[in-house]
Chains A and B, each alone.
Chain A
Amino acid sequence: MRFLPARRRVLKAALLPPAAAVVPLRFVADAHADSVAKPGQFSYFMPVEFTFVEAAVARLIPNDELGPGAKEAGVATFIDHQLSGPYGRAETWYMQGPWKQGTKEQGYQLKLTPAQLYRTAIADIDDWCSKNGKRAFAETDTNAQDQMLHDLENGRITLARAPAKDFFQMLLQNTVEGFLADPMYGGNRDFIGWKMIGFPGPRYNYVAEIDQYGKHYTMPTIGLLGRDGKRTKES
């Protein structure tokens, strides 16, 4: 089935006076000037979903004294692209029933594709915030965001439909992927992730360096699309 949480949420939020004050913020682009939603900007996310994911990844890998984090690296865009593709649709997964809850050794047994899990969980989290009189995730302060993420991680928050722990694990995994995958996928912008850890990118020949024990490798970072990581224009 297809979920339409954004529209549902708008209606629902409008009916809830205590939360109404925060509703416009969620849809006013200039609250987050660098993540303005333009028509067609996202492959999968609704603007409100993108805002949630961008806020969440900014806590999972924050911008701090060690350098820029997941938000600056474009991880939310990366996740948006991933969810709109075969991964988001669980295209290669076995998705036939019957559906049963298994042991943890039996692995993922949710009927939700990754894209559906995001959509469901984000809507559920917003609902949970509304119901508990809290500001929406993206609008609250970083301490509260960290606390909420910890609570999702440990299953201390029970969401209406999506299993919180499963969603958190998927979000964290995708965030690390987006921070450390080749920049051509939209994340790891300007090699933020690779430069932080010291991975020089896809280089094919270390014959001269492999026995230079203990020495830092000095060649510039590259991506599959070159040293700027971006697809170059045909000249």
Chain B
Amino acid sequence: MNTRTRISIAVGIALVAGSMTIAPTLLARESSHAELARGEYLVKAGDCAACHTNEDGQPFAGGFPVPTPFGTIYSTNITPDPETGIGHWTSDDFYKAMHSGIAPGGRHLYPAFPYPWYTKLSRNDVDAIRAYLATLKPVHQANKPPEMPWPFSDRAVMAGWNALYFKEGTFQSNPQKSAQWNLGAYLVEGLGHCGACHSPKNFAGAPEHDKAYHGGYGENWYATSLASDLRDGLGQWSEQDIVQYLKTGANKRAAAFGAMAEVVHDSTQYLDDDDLHAIAVYLKDLPAKSTTPNANPPVDGTTTERATTTNAAPANVNGDRFARGRGHYLDQCAGCHMDNGEGIAGVFPPLKGNNVVQASDPETVVHIILTGAKTAVTDKNPTGLAMPAFDWKLDNQQVADLVTYLRNAWGNRAGAVDASKVADTRRTIVAARTK
């Protein structure tokens, strides 16, 4: 894994920035080795394996169940097997799937396959991805049909969905912004498909573009806002914090866990530093979602200075609940996260100043307390530090009081959480487990 080939996107962007259009023919075909290496890199950047390789399954042979609000979709076989994979697809077939969400024969794909993002990719990059996939070991494994009720089972529905929500088109660079910003935008909006999780979705499961990156809900996780708000967002994160997080799975402010730990493990840790910096530049330029982002400025979770408000409940939180929550915290959590909520640098993330803890939707922090979590395993941080589950130990009221405390201790500020919210999360987690 040490021979990382720099993504050719940088080159592409440079050209794009000059010509304002993607002109694949301008990119002379490189040697097949370079193209394959680039393709492998792009497949990692796109995190294709996350869905297309099932647990204990053959690489890229599909079969992984993707739950959606409309039913379960199974990822497909993208190995070059001619019968069950994509071995018989032409280069144009593959591009049409990636760019338009339409498979050979005019079959509409469901947007669980992130073509609404991949449409941004240059033809050259799509060809490199295909070239790499063509080198995989063919696996003969038939695809499983989606388990969806009508009308969603009718793929023609997707034509309507696309008409409403899908904006087909290759990435257009913004001449007002730097090449680095544009590269970051290309990665985040395209292959990275960050908005698939981090943007809120409407009733039809389409991202709400006016609220892009304001945080999104899915599968009992709340993907935190990437906007520049100071508490519930990346406002306090430096570019370097973002780079380090994506590269190693942790920084002084947070550690990746759950779905994001997988993204870091499978994808972002392999990205080149320049690409990660570009992503950071782009993310840091996202506006705040709050109209008053700088009101009530937070403590910086990474300073060792103790907040003066450590033990006092803020005005919006019931004092008894806060005290009970503090008790649960000291009894259950302080062994790793420490009395002062600062964690252990490089090992256990701080909860003080933590954007996930202060997220508008507490789903993720409730989820982690109930099920435990494991930090991302990367080359730089191979350990995979784990937090145990508390679902057997704390009841819903206790978790609610604890989370309310976490969200308001040490200078943190976020809404109180009710036991009913914890009960909902617990129920859906159990339901998902027993399915």
Q: A–B direct touch, CB within 8 Å, in complex? A: yes
Q: How far is the CB of B308 from chain A (nearest CB, A)?
A: 17
Q: Which of A204, A208, A232, A235 contacts B335 (CB 8 A)?
A: A204
Residues of A within 8 A of B87 (CB): none
Q: Is the Cβ of B331 less than 8 Å from the Cβ of A227?
A: yes
Question: What residue of chain B has the Cβ atom nearest to residue A224's Cβ?
Answer: B393
> Which B residues fall within an 8 A CB radius of A?
327, 330-331, 334-336, 338-339, 393-398, 419, 423
Q: How far is the CB of B425 from chain A (nearest CB, A)?
A: 13
The 8 A CB mask of A214-235 against B (1 = contact, 0 = none) is 0000011010011100001111
Q: Is the Cβ of A232 less than 8 Å from the Cβ of B395?
A: yes
Residues of B within 8 A of A234 (CB): 395-396
Residues of A within 8 A of B338 (CB): 205, 207
Q: Is the Cβ of A222 less than 8 Å from the Cβ of B331?
A: yes
A150 within 8 Å of B (CB atoms): no
Q: How far is the CB of B42 from chain A (nearest CB, A)?
A: 45
Name 6 interchain pairs, CB-CB below 8 A, sorted by A: A205-B335, A205-B339, A219-B330, A226-B393, A235-B395, A235-B419
A203 within 8 Å of B (CB atoms): yes
Q: How far is the CB of A156 from chain B (nearest CB, A)?
A: 48
Q: How far is the CB of A16 from chain B (nearest CB, A)?
A: 52
Q: Which of A203, A208, A225, A235 contacts B396 (CB 8 A)?
A: A235
Q: How far is the CB of A114 from chain B (nearest CB, A)?
A: 29
Question: When chains A and B are docked, how far (Å) is the Cα of A124 from the Cα of B413?
Answer: 67
Residues of B within 8 A of A232 (CB): 394-395, 398
Q: How far is the CB of B406 from chain A (nearest CB, A)?
A: 16
Q: Is the Cβ of B330 less than 8 Å from the Cβ of A235?
A: no
Question: What residue of chain B has the Cβ atom nearest to residue A225's Cβ?
Answer: B393
Q: A232-B398, A235-B419, A235-B423 are in contact. Are A204 and B393 (CB under 8 A)?
A: no
Q: How far is the CB of A202 from chain B (nearest CB, A)?
A: 9
Residues of B within 8 A of A203 (CB): 331
Residues of B within 8 A of A204 (CB): 334-336
Question: When chains A and B are docked, how far (Å) is the Cα of A99 from the Cα of B419?
Answer: 59
Q: Is the Cβ of B395 less than 8 Å from the Cβ of A227?
A: no
Q: Which of B327, B331, B419 has the most CB of A within 10 A?
A: B331
Question: When chains A and B are docked, how far (Å) is the Cα of A226 from the Cα of B423?
Answer: 20
Residues of A within 8 A of B396 (CB): 234-235
Residues of A within 8 A of B423 (CB): 235
Question: When chains A and B are docked, how far (Å) is the Cα of A208 from the Cα of B398?
Answer: 25
Question: When chains A and B are docked, how far (Å) is the Cα of A232 from the Cα of B334?
Answer: 21
Q: How far is the CB of B426 from chain A (nearest CB, A)?
A: 8
Q: Is the Cβ of A233 less than 8 Å from the Cβ of B339?
A: no
Q: Is the Cβ of A208 less than 8 Å from the Cβ of B339?
A: yes
Residues of A within 8 A of B330 (CB): 205, 219
Question: What residue of chain B has the Cβ atom nearest to residue A233's Cβ?
Answer: B395
Q: Which of B327, B334, B336, B397 contacts A235 (CB 8 A)?
A: B397
Q: How far is the CB of B33 from chain A (nearest CB, A)?
A: 53
Question: When chains A and B are docked, how far (Å) is the Cα of A234 from the Cα of B391?
Answer: 9
Interface residues on A, range: 10 to 19
Question: What residue of chain A has the Cβ atom nearest to residue B398's Cβ?
Answer: A232
Q: How far is the CB of B307 from chain A (nearest CB, A)?
A: 16
Q: How far is the CB of A32 from chain B (nearest CB, A)?
A: 34
Question: What residue of chain B has the Cβ atom nearest to residue A203's Cβ?
Answer: B331
Question: When chains A and B are docked, how far (Å) is the Cα of A150 from the Cα of B116?
Answer: 83
Q: Is the Cβ of A205 less than 8 Å from the Cβ of B395?
A: no
Residues of A within 8 A of B397 (CB): 235
Residues of A within 8 A of B398 (CB): 226, 232
Question: What residue of chain B has the Cβ atom nearest to residue A202's Cβ?
Answer: B331
Residues of A within 8 A of B394 (CB): 232
Q: How far is the CB of A169 from chain B (nearest CB, A)?
A: 35
In addition to A203-B331, A205-B338, A232-B395, 8 A-B residue pairs with Cβ atoms within 8 Å of each other are: A205-B335, A207-B338, A226-B331, A227-B327, A232-B398, A235-B396, A235-B397, A235-B423
Q: How far is the CB of B328 from chain A (nearest CB, A)?
A: 9
Question: When chains A and B are docked, how far (Å) is the Cα of A220 from the Cα of B327?
Answer: 9
Question: When chains A and B are docked, how far (Å) is the Cα of A40 from the Cα of B339?
Answer: 44
Q: A227-B327, A235-B419, A235-B423 are in contact. Are A205 and B393 (CB under 8 A)?
A: no
Question: When chains A and B are docked, how far (Å) is the Cα of A233 from the Cα of B392?
Answer: 10
Residues of B within 8 A of A208 (CB): 339
Residues of A within 8 A of B395 (CB): 232-235
Q: A-B pairs with the 4 shortest C-beta distances? A: A204-B335, A235-B396, A205-B334, A232-B395
Question: What residue of chain B has the Cβ atom nearest to residue A208's Cβ?
Answer: B339
Question: When chains A and B are docked, how far (Å) is the Cα of A171 from the Cα of B334?
Answer: 37
Q: How far is the CB of B80 from chain A (nearest CB, A)?
A: 50
Residues of B within 8 A of A227 (CB): 327, 331
Question: When chains A and B are docked, how far (Å) is the Cα of A50 from the Cα of B396?
Answer: 37
Residues of B within 8 A of A220 (CB): 327
Q: How far is the CB of A217 from chain B (nearest CB, A)?
A: 12
Question: When chains A and B are docked, how far (Å) is the Cα of A110 from the Cα of B271?
Answer: 66
Residues of B within 8 A of A225 (CB): 393
Question: When chains A and B are docked, how far (Å) is the Cα of A181 from the Cα of B327?
Answer: 22
The 8 A CB mask of A187-224 against B (1 = contact, 0 = none) is 00000000000000001110110000000000110100
Question: What residue of chain B has the Cβ atom nearest to residue A234's Cβ?
Answer: B395
Q: How far is the CB of A226 from chain B (nearest CB, A)?
A: 7
Question: When chains A and B are docked, how far (Å) is the Cα of A203 from the Cα of B335?
Answer: 8
Question: When chains A and B are docked, how far (Å) is the Cα of A221 from the Cα of B398?
Answer: 17
Question: When chains A and B are docked, how far (Å) is the Cα of A233 from the Cα of B419?
Answer: 13
Question: When chains A and B are docked, how far (Å) is the Cα of A227 from the Cα of B326?
Answer: 13
Question: What residue of chain A has the Cβ atom nearest to residue B396's Cβ?
Answer: A235
Residues of A within 8 A of B334 (CB): 204-205
Question: What residue of chain A has the Cβ atom nearest to residue B420's Cβ?
Answer: A235
Question: When chains A and B are docked, how far (Å) is the Cα of A227 from the Cα of B401?
Answer: 15
Question: When chains A and B are docked, how far (Å) is the Cα of A233 from the Cα of B336?
Answer: 26
Q: How far is the CB of B28 from chain A (nearest CB, A)?
A: 61
**B-contacting residues, A86-126, CB 8 Å:** none
